[in-house]
Amino acid sequence: MAHRHHGLAEVDHDHAHHDHDHFHEHVQTATAASRAQLGLVATLMGGLLVLSSYYIQWFSSATDKYRIETSTTGVQTVVYDYQFHMDLVAAVGAILLSIRILVHAVRNLIRGHLHMDELVALAIVAAFAMGDYRAAGVIGFFLLLSELIETRTALGARASIEDLIRLTPTRARLVRDDGTETEVEAATLGAGQIVRVRPGDNIPADGEIVHGESTINQALITGESLPVDKVEGDPVFSGTSNLTGALDIRVTKTGKDTTLGRVQDLILQAERTRIPIMRMIDKYVVWYTPIVLMLAGLVLFFQRGSPSALSNAITILVASCPCALIMATPTAMVAGLSCAARLGILIKNVAQLESAGRLNAIVFDKTGTLTTGELAVTRLSPAEGVDAADLLASSASAEQLSHHPAARALVNVAREANVSLHRPAHFEEVPGQGVVARLNGDQILVGRESFLRKRGVNVDTATASAAQGHGLSQLFVARGDRCLGWIGLEDRTRPAAREAVQQLQALGLRRVMMLTGDRQAVARKVAAEMGCTEFKAECLPQEKLDLVEHMRREGYRVAVVGDGVNDAPALAAGDLGVAMGAAGSDVAINSASIALLNNELTRLPFLIRLSRQTRRVVIQNLVFGVLFIVCVISLGAFGAITPVWAAILHTLSSFVVVFNSARLVRFGEDQPTHEQIMGESAPTPTAASMAAASA
C-alpha cells in the first residue's frame, strides 16, 4: 500500500505541476493577446487620424479655404485655414502609429543592438522635426503593415502545426480495472493505462490496440490518403481519427512524446534553423545601417540649401529598410517546409532542404526501403531427422524478441500453423548477422551461414540444400552445434520503387546504389528490378558506413535512405539522411535529418524538385529585394519620390516577396497525398503449404 500511495502522490504532484504550467501559459497568452489587441486599436485610430488630416486638406482645397504665402527667399507655400487642425490630428495619429517603432528602436540602442528598424525610426523623427506629421504617420502605418504581413505569413506557414494541434483531443475515456469508464483530461494519461475510443473520436495518445477492430484515418500523420484497417496488437497514433469500430487502447506515449508531438516539435525546430545564405546576411548586416546613414548624409551635404534635401534624406531612410530582403529567404524556406509537411516529409533543418537539390548520389538500404520489409516464409528445409515443426518452433521462439522483418515473418507463420512458442531465457541479437537464444537449456542460433560457422556449427549439408533456393533470403537454424536446417523467405519490392529510381536518375543523380546484408543472388535480383546502377550484398552496418564515407571522399553529395533503425550510422554519415516510414519510431525520427512519415518512395524525387524550386524562389526574392532598395534609394536621392510613396512602395515590395514565396506552399499539389505502396497482400503460407514445401 505504501508503494501505491507513493505513486498517487507522484501523480498528484505531476498534475499540480501541469496545472501550474498551464496557468502561466494561459496568463502569458492572455497578456500577449491584450497587447496585440491594444496595438491593433492604436494602429487603426492612428490611421484614421492621418486619413482625416488628408481629408481636411482636400476639404480646404475644395472650398478655397487656403492662401499662398511667399517667404523672403521667394519660396511660395500653401497655408490652409484649418492648418492647425490638420497638423494636430496628423501629429496625434503619427504618434499612435510610430510610438511602438520608436520605443523598439530606443530599447535596441540601449541594449547595444543595432538593427535596421532604427533607420525607419530616424526617418519618423526627421519627419516630425520638419513638421511633416502626415509623412511620419504614413511611414509608421506602412511599416506596421509590413510587420503584420510578415507575422501573418509566419502564422500561415504554421497552419500545418495548428491543424496537428487541433487533432489532439483534450478529453479521454479512461477504462478502470472494473471495466467502468471515466472521462479524464487527455494530458493526465500515463503509459499502461487503457482508454476507450468510440467511432468518430480522435485517439488521445499513442498506443496499442488490446481489444476491437476498426478503420483509422491517419492521413495527417503518415500521409496515407486511404484509411487503414487496424486489429488487436496494431499500433495507433495520437490525433488520428477512429472511423468505424470501438477500440480499447493501451497507452504507450502521451503528450510531446507521441508521434504527433514529435512532428510538431520537428516543424518548429526546422523553422528556427538558418541556411548558409541567411547566416551570411546576418554576418554583414551590421554594416548596412552605417552605409545607409552615410548615403543619407551625403544627400544632405550635396543638396544643402535645397528645400527638398531633408525630405530626400527621409525617403532614403524609409526605402532602405530592407523588409523585402529580410523576408526573402525565411518566407521561402517556411513555405517549403509547409509544403513538405503536407506530404509527410519532416525536415529538421532548413539547410537540409537547401542541400537536397545538390545531391548527385543516393544509397538505398534494401529491406524496408526498396522492398516492403514484410517477409513471407515460403520454404522450410529441415535437416535429415528433423521435423519441420521443430525447425519452425525453434527458430520462431528464438526470434520472437527481435524486431527484424525476418523475425516477424517467422513468428507470424508459426502462429498460423498453431506451433507453440516458448519464451527464451536468454536473448542476444547481433546486428546484420543473427540471434542467439537459450531455450530449455539449449543454445539456439538463427542467422546467416557465416554466423553459424563462426560459432562452430557444421552447415555443409544444409548449404548444399540451400543452393537450390535461388532468390530466397535464407536463415540457418542450429540447436547447440547441430544444424536443424534452413528457412527461405521472400520480400516484395515496393510498386513505386522503380518509378522513384527512374525519376532520381532523370534529376541527375549519377549513382543509385543499393546496400543489403542479404545474399548476392537476392541483391542482384532486386537491384535489377529497381534499375540501380550498382549494389553490394552481404554488407554489414560498418561496411555501409565505410562505403558512404568513401563516396563522399570521392566528391559525391550522398543521400542515404533507410528505415532509420539498423541504418543509423550510415544515415548520419551521409550529406542527407532520410528515414522511411518514421511514424511511430523515435529511433527513425532521431537518426535522420529528414523523416518520411510514409513509405512512398516518390517523395524523394519530389523533395529534390522542391529543394531546387525553393532555391530558385530564394534567389528571385533576394534579387528583387536588392534591386528594389537600389532603385527606390536612387529615386529618393534625386527627389523623384516622396517619403510617403517610399513607404507605400516598401509595403508593396513585402507583398511581392510574400506572394512569390507562397507559391511554394502549393508546389506539387498535382501530386496525390499518398499512393497505395502496398500491393495486394500475398497469401500467407498455411501449415499445409509449409508441409508441402518441406517435402
- As a three-state string, the secondary structure of 643-673 is HHHHHHHHHHHHHHHHHHHHHHHHCCCCCCC
Cβ density class 198-230: b for 16+ within 10 Å, e for less: eeebbbbbbbebeebebebbbbbbbbbeebbeb
Give the end of a domain, one of 490, 516, 546.
Answer: 490
DSSP 104-141: HHHHHHHHT---THHHHHHHHHHHHHTT-HHHHHHHHH
Q: Give a yes or no: residue 518 inside a domain.
A: yes
What is the pairing mode between strands 171-175 and 181-185? antiparallel
Q: Residues 524, 581: one domain?
A: yes
DSSP 617-639: HHHHHHHHHHHHHHHHHHHHHTT
Angstrom distance (rounded) from CA 100 to CA 119: 14
Angstrom distance (rounded) from CA 499 to CA 508: 15
Those residues of the chain that have pLDDT short of 50 are 1-27, 29, 153-162, 164, 223, 225, 270-271, 583-584, 673-695
**CATH number of the domain that residue 185 is part of:** 2.70.150.10
Task: Specify which residues 195 forms β-bridges with.
Answer: 174, 249
**CATH number of the domain that residue 380 is part of:** 3.40.1110.10
Q: Residues 499, 478: one domain?
A: no
Decide: helix, strand or coil at residue 373: coil
CB 504 within 8 A of CB 352: no
Q: Residues 443, 517: one domain?
A: no
Q: Give a yes or no: residue 103 inside a domain.
A: no
Angstrom distance (rounded) from CA 213 to CA 62: 78
What is the sign, positive or negative, of the torsion defined by CA atoms of 674, 677, 680, 684?
Answer: negative
Q: Give a yes or no: residue 148 inside a domain.
A: no
Angstrom distance (rounded) from CA 241 to CA 254: 16
What is the pairing mode between strands 594-596 and 345-347? antiparallel
C-alpha distance from residue 689 to each of 396, 413, 449 (Å) = 17, 11, 25
Q: Give a yes or no: residue 477 inside a domain.
A: yes
Q: Residues 392, 409: one domain?
A: yes
Q: Which domain holds residue 212?
A: 169-203+206-253
Q: Residues 527, 481: one domain?
A: no
Angstrom distance (rounded) from CA 429 to CA 674: 35
H or E, element range at 241: strand 241-242
Give the end of a domain, one of 590, 607, 624.
Answer: 607
Q: Residues 498, 588: one domain?
A: yes
CB 389 within 8 A of CB 418: no
Active site residue 234: no
Residue bearing cell 521472400: 490
454 contacts: CB under 8 Å, gap ≥ 6? none
DSSP 435-465: EEEEETTEEEEEE-HHHHHHTT---HHHHHH
Q: Residues 418, 552: one domain?
A: no
Q: What angle do CA 94, 98, 104 make, to 5 degrees?
A: 165
Q: Give a yes or no: residue 466 inside a domain.
A: yes
Q: For 172, which DSSP code?
A: E
**CATH number of the domain that residue 520 is part of:** 3.40.50.1000
pLDDT of residue 484: 93
Decide: helix, strand or coil at residue 291: helix
Q: Residues 350, 454: one domain?
A: no
Angstrom distance (rounded) from CA 222 to CA 228: 11
Q: Residues 515, 383: one domain?
A: no
Q: Residues 401, 479: one domain?
A: yes
Which of 117, 201, 206, 365 does the annotation list as catalytic?
Answer: 365
Q: Which cell is 521 given?
A: 543472388
Give the end of a domain, one of 471, 490, 509.
Answer: 490
Q: Give a yes or no: residue 14 inside a domain.
A: no
C-alpha distance from residue 137 to each of 51, 98, 567 (Å) = 9, 7, 60
42 contacts: CB under 8 Å, gap ≥ 6? 96, 97, 99, 100
Q: Residues 442, 499: one domain?
A: no
pLDDT digits 0-9 by tens, 156-185: 444 444 454 555 667 888 998 888 888 888
- What's the distance, CA 50 to chain centroid? 44
- What's the distance, CA 403 to chain centroid? 26
Q: Give a yes or no: residue 351 inside a domain.
A: yes
Q: Give a yes or no: residue 576 inside a domain.
A: yes
Phi, psi of 401 (to 5 degrees): -90, -5
pLDDT of residue 692: 32
Residue bearing cell 478502470: 176
Q: In what order do the strands lie in the sheet with 534-536?
A: 345-347, 594-596, 576-579, 558-562, 361-365, 511-515, 534-536
Q: How many domains does the chain have?
A: 3
Integer Rg of the chain from CA: 34
| Number of neighbouring beta carbons within 10 Å of residue 339 | 24
Burial of 576 (0-12, 13-18, 19+ CB in 10 A): buried
Q: In the chain, count of helices (H) and strands (E)?
A: 24, 24
pLDDT of residue 659: 87
Q: Which cell is 618 given?
A: 530564394
Q: Residues 497, 367: one domain?
A: yes
- What's the distance, CA 449 to chain centroid? 41
Task: Specify which residues 202 forms β-bridges with.
Answer: 241
